[in-house]
Every structure is written in C-alpha cells, then in structure tokens.
C-alpha cells in the first residue's frame, strides 16, 4: 500500500475517532492493519519525535524573527 494512502488512513482514524477495525475498504483504505503497522513502525523509529523537534525549532525561529520590537 502506498505511504500516502496509509497516512490518509491514519489521519482519518485520528480525525473521526473510529476504531481501526472500522477503517474499511469501502472508504478507499485497503488494510487497516497495514495502516496501523506503518504508524506503529514510524512511532517506534522516532519519526514523530524528530518531526516535532523540527517543527518546534522552526516555530521558535519564526517567533524570534517577528517578536516584539521588530
């Protein structure tokens, strides 16, 4: 399954609050288990921790450059 389709499945589950088992093929997501395994693998690999650090650093840099008195 393409990574984009897995990410869309994960985001759909997070947005709607449905159970993984309810992520159906009728919605265009081939395998809820595949989506779940991919997100679990990404979490275990630290992908989201890295992403969080990068985004936070960019936000802090943007805040410093547009902060008070500038």
Please tell me the predicted confidence (pLDDT) of residue 67: 66
Long-range contacts of 3-10, Cβ-Cβ distance < 8 Å, separation of 24 or more: 3/38, 5/29, 5/30, 6/34, 6/35, 6/38, 6/39, 9/35, 10/35, 10/36, 10/38, 10/39
Please tell me the predicted confidence (pLDDT) of residue 21: 86
This prediction's pTM: 0.65
Q: Which residues of the chain have pLDDT under 70?
A: 67-70
Please tell me the predicted confidence (pLDDT) of residue 7: 87
């Amino acid at each position: 399954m393409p990574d984009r389709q897995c990410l869309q499945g994960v985001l759909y589950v997070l947005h709607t609050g449905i159970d993984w088992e309810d992520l159906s093929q009728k919605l265009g997501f081939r395998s809820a288990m595949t989506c779940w395994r991919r997100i679990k693998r990404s979490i275990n690999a630290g992908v989201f921790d890295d992403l969080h650090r990068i985004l936070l650093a960019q936000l802090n840099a943007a805040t410093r450059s547009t902060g008070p008195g500038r």
